[in-house]
Structure formats: structure tokens, C-alpha cells
């Protein structure tokens, strides 16, 4: 028997297919701007997709690179437009949006110096993964690696601490909350350079904790790639 998460992912593929067939009969309406458009797969029109705003340099320069990361790259500004698009990925299970965002990230960030890196998505705790049925960072990573021709490793890093939402915590509290949240599943790995992928970058405590664990296991370089970050 398939695992629950596997079943859910398969179910979502069928849901995507069913939506595609339905769209042939009823032209879809964009979930962001309500205009009719033609697309087999996505619930968003092309003008809304191209409206995803790259993170302005002035905002990027105000973000501190977490201690354990060697560099940090952030693709988009987390504004209302981004939120509206990702809302459907998170809450209505349009997983294709995750792949698409990953592909777009590969298009706007300079990744050419990272050719020999292994992409590792920030894992969810197994309980959270079972509840949600998918990991957003993993979907984004898949799109990114497909587009950039990089390798992905979804199993080397696991989350052992089921942290609650961090939105009300201070930077210090988040750091403490994330301490020892990750573990390595294979001590014998030979990964030296990692691109660590997460969806939204806020204080960086999650990426910092994950990068610290990877470095303790022998990884030399960890570059953080986040899909989006808020202006402040």
C-alpha cells in the first residue's frame, strides 16, 4: 500500500489533470485578477505570473545572511501579489505553482557558479508533512533543479523537532526554537556544496539551523536560496 503522502501526491496529479480537462470546456478564470485566460494547467494568467516582483536590491541589502550560510539569494518580494499566488499552493493544493515558482527562481537568480551543488529543500517535520501532504520547499526545489539542471537530495536532511508557528516569536526566540531541529540521515555522505531551499525568508533562523547541521556533517559550503522575503 502507498504511504498517505504518496497517495496524496498522486491524487493531486489527477486533480491537476481533471482541472486541465475541465478547462477545455469552461475557460479558467485567473485566481488573482479574475480575467478569463487559456491555460491547461495553472490557475493564474500569464500577466499575473509575470507580475511576480523580484526582490529589490535595496531590500535585499538589509537582510542579514544567517551565520551558518555562505551566501543568501532571494528571488521575489513577498507582497500581496505573491501571497495571493502562493495561497493556492498552500491551501488549495495547486502543486504545479510550486514547480513554476522554482523554474522562475532559476531564471532570475544567478546560479551558474553553483553547478556542482546539491539542492536540499528544508524538510518539514513528518507530522506536518502527513497533515499537509506536500512540502512547498520541495516542490520549489523540483522546479529549480529541473530548470537549472542541478541534483536534488530530499532525504539527507530531516526535521526532528516539530516547531510551532514562529510568527509571534522574536528573533532570539526563533533561534532557540530552531536549535537542534534538524538531523543528518547519512553520516557517510560526500556532499560538499549545498543549495538550501526554503519558501519564505524571515529571520533566517530555520535556514541557519539547517545549514549548521549540514556543516557539522562535513558540508563545506551552504548557499541559501529563498523564494521570497517580506520588505521588512
CA 27/CA 20 separation, integer angstroms: 10
- Identify the bridge partners of residue 224 per DSSP, sorted by sequence position: 72, 196
The 109-128 site mask, x for binding Zn ion (CB under 5 A), equals --------------------
Where on the phi/psi map is residue 66: left (φ > 0), alpha (ψ -120 to 50), or beta? beta
Do the Cβ atoms of 102 and 141 come closer than 8 Å? Answer: yes
For Zn ion, the closer CB: 39 or 217: 39
Window contacting Zn ion (CB under 5 A); options: 6-14, 33-41, 127-135, 163-171 = 33-41
What backbone torsions phi and psi does residue 165 show, to the nearest 5 degrees? -55, 135
| 3-state DSSP assignment of residue 168 | coil
For Zn ion, the closer CB: 39 or 183: 39
For Zn ion, the closer CB: 32 or 89: 32
Among 28, 42, 43, 45, binds Zn ion (CB under 5 A): 45
Among 28, 42, 43, 48, binds Zn ion (CB under 5 A): 48
Do the Cβ atoms of 163 and 125 come closer than 8 Å? Answer: yes
| CA nearest to 101, candidates 200, 18, 223, 13 | 200
CA 197/CA 222 separation, integer angstroms: 10
Among 28, 32, 124, 182, binds Zn ion (CB under 5 A): 32
Do the Cβ atoms of 175 and 202 come closer than 8 Å? Answer: no
Among 15, 33, 152, 169, binds Zn ion (CB under 5 A): 33
For Zn ion, the closer CB: 31 or 191: 31
Window contacting Zn ion (CB under 5 A); options: 29-37, 67-75, 103-111, 221-229 = 29-37
**Does residue 52 touch Zn ion according to CB under 5 A?**
no
Window contacting Zn ion (CB under 5 A); options: 46-54, 57-65, 134-142, 146-154 = 46-54
For Zn ion, the closer CB: 32 or 124: 32
Query: What's the start-to-end Cα distance of the chain, in Å?
Result: 46
- Give the binding site for Zn ion (CB under 5 A): 30, 32-33, 45, 48
Amino acid at each position: 500500500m502507498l504511504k498517505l503522502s504518496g497517495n496524496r501526491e498522486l491524487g493531486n496529479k489527477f486533480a491537476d489533470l481533471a482541472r486541465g480537462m475541465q478547462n477545455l470546456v469552461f475557460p479558467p478564470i485567473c485566481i488573482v485578477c479574475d480575467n478569463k485566460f487559456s491555460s491547461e494547467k495553472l490557475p493564474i494568467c500569464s500577466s499575473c505570473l509575470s507580475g511576480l516582483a523580484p526582490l529589490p536590491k535595496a531590500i535585499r541589502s538589509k537582510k542579514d545572511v544567517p551565520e551558518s550560510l555562505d551566501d543568501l539569494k532571494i528571488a521575489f518580494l513577498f507582497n500581496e501579489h505573491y501571497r495571493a499566488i502562493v495561497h493556492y499552493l498552500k491551501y488549495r493544493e495547486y502543486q504545479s505553482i510550486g514547480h513554476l515558482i522554482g523554474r522562475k527562481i532559476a531564471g532570475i537568480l544567478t546560479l551558474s557558479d553553483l553547478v556542482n551543488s546539491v539542492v536540499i529543500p528544508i524538510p518539514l517535520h513528518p507530522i506536518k508533512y502527513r497533515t499537509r501532504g506536500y512540502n512547498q520547499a520541495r516542490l520549489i526545489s523540483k522546479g529549480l533543479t529541473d530548470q537549472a539542471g542541478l541534483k536534488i537530495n530530499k532525504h539527507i536532511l530531516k526535521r526532528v523537532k516539530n516547531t510551532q508557528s514562529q510568527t509571534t516569536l522574536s528573533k532570539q526566540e526563533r533561534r532557540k526554537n530552531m536549535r537542534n531541529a534538524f538531523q543528518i540521515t547519512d553520516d557517510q555522505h560526500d556532499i560538499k556544496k549545498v543549495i538550501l531551499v526554503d519558501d519564505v525568508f524571515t529571520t533566517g533562523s530555520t535556514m541557519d539551523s539547517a545549514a549548521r547541521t549540514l556543516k557539522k556533517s562535513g558540508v563545506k559550503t551552504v548557499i541559501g536560496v529563498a523564494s521570497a522575503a517580506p520588505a521588512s
